[in-house]
Structure 1
Amino acid sequence: MTAFLLRPSSTALLLTAALALAGCQRAATTPADTPAALPAASAPQDVGASQRLGREADELLALHRQIVVLMDGEAALPPPQRREVQALGQQLFHELLQRQQALADAALKPDALDATTALLTRIESEPSWFDADRLAFKEVLGQLATGLKSAQTLDGIKLARRAQDDLDTLAEVEKAYEQELKEVFGGFAKRGIELKREKWADYIAKLKALHTREAVMKQHGAQLPAPADLAPEPPASAASGGMRGMAAKDREVFGDKLPPKTVLLTFDDGPHARYTDEILEILKRYQAPAVFFQLGQNLGKVGADGKPLPGNGTAVAKRVLAAGHQIANHSFTHGLMSKFELVKVKEEAANTEALLDAAGRNGDALFRFPYGARNDGALTTIEALKLRSMMWNVDSLDWSDPIPKSIAARVLDELDKQGRGIVLFHDIHARTVQALPLVLAQLAADGWRFASWQNGQFVVSTDKTVTAPPPAPGELYRESHALVIGIDGYTAWPKLSHAVRDAQAVRESLVTRFGFKADNVTLLTDADATRANILKALNERFGDAKRVKRDDRVFVFFAGHGSTRRLPSGREVGYIVPVDAGLNDLQADAIAMPQLQEVAEAITAKHALFVIDACYSGLGLTRGGVAGSDSNFARTNARRIGRQMMTAGGADQQVADDGPGGHSVFTWTLLQALSGKADLNGDGLITATELAAYVAPAVSAIAHQTPAFGSLPGSEGGEFIFELPASTEPALSGAVAQLDDKASQLAAKLDEASTAGRQAAPAASGAASAVQVTIKGLDGKDQALAATTARVDPGARVAAQRANDRGLQLYRERRYDEAEAAFKEALQLQPKFALAANNLGFVLYRRAKFADAAGWFEKALEMDASRSLAWLNLGDARLQAGDDAKAMAAYKTFLELAPKHARAAELQAWIAAPSEGTRPKAL
């Protein structure tokens, strides 16, 4: 494919323009589950399609540029001018969404593949466009990547992969320039601060050579108020669009009538097939009511006889009602109703009313004018239909601001200024889904209350303020910090073999699996792991309150020698041994467990976990209990301080340094546990207690050592948490590495031993079920460790993904029966799970069930024909089954989709000359 022409000096520009105007995400018009048939030839091409798509692309880009010029610097305009600019900006933005949808629909037509190819090439590399122009087509690319995946031709599937590659490239650039984007857009609500936006200014200067704000407004029938006409900004209760003063205040609902520190949430322009449901889930977490102002055209149609014809959006509206929220009228087409004939106003409102009634709407009949544009005649017309107009006094500007944190900051700032408010959001943007929890979390922290509208008045919850729910996925911690130490090459102590590799593997897991930023993980190995460097990292890095905040977590891992010193009193003190320690003066050269405890108490972060893989490391004195089952665990845990330690062995033991994969037995078991095996209740979280409950009995069963675990001084019952990520595993194929037989047998033994070491624990009335494990505490005494095993229901999609992940792990361990069962479970939960179907087929292939395997590969390709590895696997299965013709056909498709694969040359040679000597070497 042609790469984006992104020059290093202008990549941020490209992103800024695109993100500022990225539209709502819509589902592809092509069904996602259409079986993939691949005819040899594409459908006949419409020779005029390329010209039409090119013309539509030019018109879309022209509108995009006009919006950028119109909105640049709008926050600095006088209030009357700002209102006019924002009103026109919203109108043009909705037109932009329609143009994006029309372009995507046209590009997805079966006879438009050649035209779509030309369109992609132009988006990627048109030399006459400015760099920042290109991402005006981000929404279009997203729809092409989704819709073409279900194409009936190989060419269509290849185009889908190309569009997805383009989007992946944009995602990487977006992440790289996230901070710059925040600086560019984070000041919408600021006053008196001029942000330096040199790169953005370059692009604006180019556009202003083509357009001016005044010209854009004139072209669309609007104009800025003259300076002589500028008046002070009206109060929040005053209307816009021709409604001013007492009439609107008396007849319409405004946020200034709410009690102090009370908020009413509203969402316009839905229902949306995806984002509305995501917003419902967020509102459920915070127990927040809301009003959803919905467009009639999104709900369905109205026949010539006036009867409603509900569409797919009605099902979404019914889910809004089932969740306890209100649905209300936002017109049928989102037109500028202040300019409509009154008969048209009535038709727009009445048709939408019919569709809302068909969805089961109950409660007050509310109406919101699109853009807030209304006049006395329009207001009187909707009142005649017994509708009450509800406005807003806090605008999130989520339609124009691409940065969720900036949207949230604006809403919170305006609520703080006004002390109360009806907030305007839109449930058609991904950015709103991201910003909403930020707003609600802060409102919860500041003691705000939610309101609803019932029986013609605000109804405020009086029994409680906004309650913060358990943290959402990815929100458990603000930042994560780690110090990872591994020492093989000691100066005076015996050299070790695997400690450095242990440390490197732990660091890799923290960064790639658990989201620790690489810059926040300090790795000290061998000569760098001196006593001074270790203490400096512990005290300066973790003791810096500017770096480590209250909502952070800190993880410390040490792999190396440990030792014990008996004091004259008879008490023993454990030490970890730095690389430069001598043999005879532990007190001066090593780091004592009490020093680690002092570090733990001084850390600002709410949760800290020390994992010590060293000989004689079991002497970290414990104080306080180990956290048990809690029905509100995630919420209460977010408030509790947690200081925990797990060690590889007791004071009278040496730890094994000869485990699988070049690791110690303890660290290898730890890595196995963190792969997901220690998630005892299937909630996607591994607590430190669950980690110990898996690791301790497993290690004890296979090595002469007894891991210990407990809380350190300063702990208040909090738990360090690892959140399992969504799977990014590739599809199974011959390239996926597996454990050797010895390691595979050991992995199975670990699982068996860990399970055998757990027994049912008595639970208090109403408490979650738990297992009990007897392990050593940090003081060397036995303790009963309780870990909850109450299974949670994450929903079918997430459960299917976890079953697939479990199958991948079992496949790597050569436990094929169990892997097959896991993949079948995933498919039972999610029947259209193409990845799981491929993986099930590959497990059967490895067991020499070639015909059955081929059947599952074909099912995977019916679900998603763009999976190149499934075509490769199908070819291998057919080859092994002796059907060379079908094998060759599958290989040819694979080569079309992945021409640079490592096996490409081998397969091409056989296809060119299908002899025994060129026969592929299938797994």
Structure 2
Amino acid sequence: MNDDNRPKPIEKAGFSDGHALLVAVAAYPKVSPLPPAVINDAREVTAVLTSPAYCGYDPKNVTTLLDSEATLEAIRRELSALASRAKPDDTVMIFFSGHGARLGDPNGPESALMPVDCDPGDVSATVLLETELSSLLADIKAQRLVVFIDACHSGGAGSFKAVGNIAGLGFSEKSLDRLAQGTGRVLIASSRASETSLVLLGASNSLFTEHLVGALRGAARTHGDGLIRIFEIFNYVAEKVRGAAPGRQHPIFKASDLEDNFPVALDRGGAKGIAAHQNPAVSGGIWRELENILADLYPAGPLDQEIWARAGGDVSRLRLTGTGRASWFAAIQTLQRGGGGAHISQSALVQAALQDFPHHLALTQMSQRS
């Protein structure tokens, strides 16, 4: 292939035209609470979006509302703020994780997102109805807008059985179709309306968001020009979720007038870490290099995405205390001394990480050296 035909990597230090609103509610005071993973989901997406090593969003353009912050009034206010600051050529990402409900006639329900202050005794006045959400989205003039809705969790099953005007939990696909009306509008839901959005046993994130974050960290197959696009994100997430939960969860994609496969963020795959670790002799050798890379890719520590176990390690042999970075320091020290499990090695750890981040340059170089 002629080098001149290859996509040219971008040189931008940040994705300055990116804006995001992330909302997550788990501790509902008046309805069934959801797993803590719901809050972790929003925190992880916020972290990867605002990291200069990954997506490059300006932190001042990213707002996160968690639990008590995520009132109906606050969500309305922040959606209006997005409409005020996002220009037509900008990219806007909205992420909601929490309860969703289908209201009214079961044969033609209207969907709604449920803020932390929703009240089962006055549902229609205390939720964000589909019609209002559609209007708020229409006010956002950015021609590249993606909304991730993770509004059906097993922890909420049966919460509203006693409330007469609620037809069911979750978010209907017809509602997603209606919300996706408009040029450059994409709606991605974590599961079909008939399914639950899974949180696997012991996981710190929902299955859907675990792989969304993985895509944003560089695991998705991209053009190689330094940008990650909407189809690339969805294709990666859908494949990973369906593979992890066969027949149980199917992410869905809705768009009515999508003119191109638009970029959502920078595709840097830990670029800051790569630059810092180009010279192992300077950074303390290959062990120190590996420790820093893994701390960037798996910030919760060796339990994150079960990376240590997948590499053949035994987590019971580790001392996991303090921050994720501190746990990685201790784990790598243990591995250097021949501990951490009978089947784990430096090479196995690198190969396991490459399964999640196949385009990570520093890991690829390390695998070639080992």
2:254 to 693, 700, 710: 710
1:499 paired with 2:38, answer yes
Shift of 1:595: 3.0
Letter in 2 for 1:621: L
2:129 to 592, 595, 600: 592
CA distance in 1, matches of 2:11, 2:190: 30
**SS of match in other structure, 1:670:** helix
2:70 to 517, 520, 529: 529
Letter in 2 for 1:550: P
Letter in 1 for 2:306: A
1:489 to 9, 27, 34: 27
Contact kept? 1:660, 1:668, Cα under 8 Å: no
Aligned to 2:317: none
CA distance in 1, matches of 2:126, 2:350: 50
1:509 paired with 2:38, answer no
Shift of 1:555: 0.9
CA distance in 2, matches of 1:565, 1:701: 32
CA distance in 2, matches of 1:826, 1:564: 42
Alpha-carbon deviations, 1:444-474, whole Å to 9, x = none? xxxxxxxxxxxxxxxxxxxxxxxxx999543
Contact kept? 1:608, 1:644, Cα under 8 Å: yes
The 5 Å alignment of 1:881-892 reads none
Letter in 2 for 1:531: L
**SS of match in other structure, 1:662:** coil
Against the structure 1 CA distance between its residues 516 and 476, is the aligned structure 2 distance closer, same or farther, given a 3 Å change threshold? closer
Contact kept? 2:146, 2:185, Cα under 8 Å: yes
Alpha-carbon deviations, 1:509-531, whole Å to 9, x = none? 11112121111111111111001
Q: Which has the higher contact order (CA 8 A, sep 6+)?
A: 2
Shift of 1:584: 4.7
Alpha-carbon deviations, 1:141-181, whole Å to 9, x = none? xxxxxxxxxxxxxxxxxxxxxxxxxxxxxxxxxxxxxxxxx
CA distance in 2, matches of 1:542, 1:522: 10
Alpha-carbon deviations, 1:717-764, whole Å to 9, x = none? 56342221271125452534464497239989xxxxxxxxxxxxxxxx
Letter in 2 for 1:492: K
**SS of match in other structure, 1:645:** strand
Aligned residue pairs, count? 290
CA distance in 2, matches of 1:821, 1:648: 22
Shift of 1:705: 2.1
Shift of 1:481: 1.2
1:743 paired with 2:306, answer yes
Aligned to 1:88: none
Aligned to 2:61: 520
CA distance in 1, matches of 2:258, 2:135: 12
Against the structure 1 CA distance between its residues 683 and 747, is the aligned structure 2 distance closer, same or farther, given a 3 Å change threshold? farther
1:733 paired with 2:307, answer no
Structure 2, unpaired ranges of 5+: 153-169, 278-285, 296-300, 312-344
Bigger radius of gyration among the two: 1
Aligned to 1:135: none
1:538 paired with 2:74, answer no
CA distance in 1, matches of 2:355, 2:64: 39
The 5 Å alignment of 1:355-366 reads none
Aligned to 2:171: 617
The 5 Å alignment of 1:126-525 reads 472-474=10-12, 479-496=17-34, 497-512=36-51, 513-525=54-66
Q: TM-score, normalised by structure 2?
A: 0.65
Letter in 1 for 2:137: A
Shift of 1:826: 9.4
Against the structure 1 CA distance between its residues 666 and 554, is the aligned structure 2 distance closer, same or farther, given a 3 Å change threshold? same
Aligned to 1:603: 140
CA-atom RMSD in angstroms: 4.1
Against the structure 1 CA distance between its residues 586 and 706, is the aligned structure 2 distance closer, same or farther, given a 3 Å change threshold? farther
Aligned to 1:723: 266
CA distance in 2, matches of 1:526, 1:477: 28
Contact kept? 1:660, 1:743, Cα under 8 Å: no
Against the structure 1 CA distance between its residues 837 and 552, is the aligned structure 2 distance closer, same or farther, given a 3 Å change threshold? closer
Contact kept? 1:511, 1:517, Cα under 8 Å: yes
The 5 Å alignment of 1:840-851 reads 840-841=368-369, 844=370
Against the structure 1 CA distance between its residues 819 and 508, is the aligned structure 2 distance closer, same or farther, given a 3 Å change threshold? closer
Structure with greater helix percent: 1
Letter in 1 for 2:83: G
Structure 1, unpaired ranges of 5+: 1-280, 286-468, 627-639, 749-810, 828-832, 845-923
1:684 paired with 2:226, answer yes
State the identity %.
Answer: 27
Q: TM-score, normalised by structure 1?
A: 0.28
CA distance in 2, matches of 1:584, 1:571: 22
Letter in 2 for 1:578: P
Shift of 1:578: 0.4
Aligned to 1:666: 208
